[in-house]
Amino acid sequence: MFDKDKMLQLCNDWSKNTLMETLEIEYIDAGEDFLTAKMPVNSRVHQPMGLLHGGASVALAESVGSAASLLFVNPEKSEVRGIEISANHLKAKRDGMVYATAKIVHKGRSIHLWEIRITDESNNLVSLCKLTNMILPRKVR
């Protein structure tokens, strides 16, 4: 049975001491087929022209899409690896907050395909991304 609070706690706990923490990504909503996170837009994620850096958007998208694959696997038995990502940046953003929602497009045993929509506070589309994840057996360390 899906436990939204447990999923959000897991994702936020795994983000400690990682790029997600550096970018201040916070997982804020989850369902049986989606995961949403937010990221502040400030000078830490700007490119030289003072706009949200496309690389920061892609990092947000891959973080959310990879974490979303945990909805469908047992993290004690499987590991998720992003193997391909594409992004179309459609709207500039200087400040405020962006929200990334990953929704499943294809859920196979070894491949997950996600669509990640990054929007602003007014739900305007900032970037549209597609992420392919490979699901691997977890290796004992």
Q: Of residues 62, 84, 115, 121, which has the active-site annotation?
A: 62
Q: How far is CA 18 from the centre of its chain?
A: 13
> Is 76 marked active-site?
no
Q: Are 4 and 31 in contact (CB under 8 A)?
A: yes
Confidence of residue 75 (pLDDT cuts 50, 70, 90): confident
Average pLDDT on 121-131 reads 98
d(CA 58, CA 56): 5
**pLDDT value at residue 58:** 98
**pLDDT value at residue 141:** 65
Element (H, E) at 71: none
Question: Which residue, chain included where needed, has tokens 């047992």?
Answer: 74
Q: Are 135 and 80 in contact (CB under 8 A)?
A: yes
pLDDT in tens, 37-46: 999 999 999 9
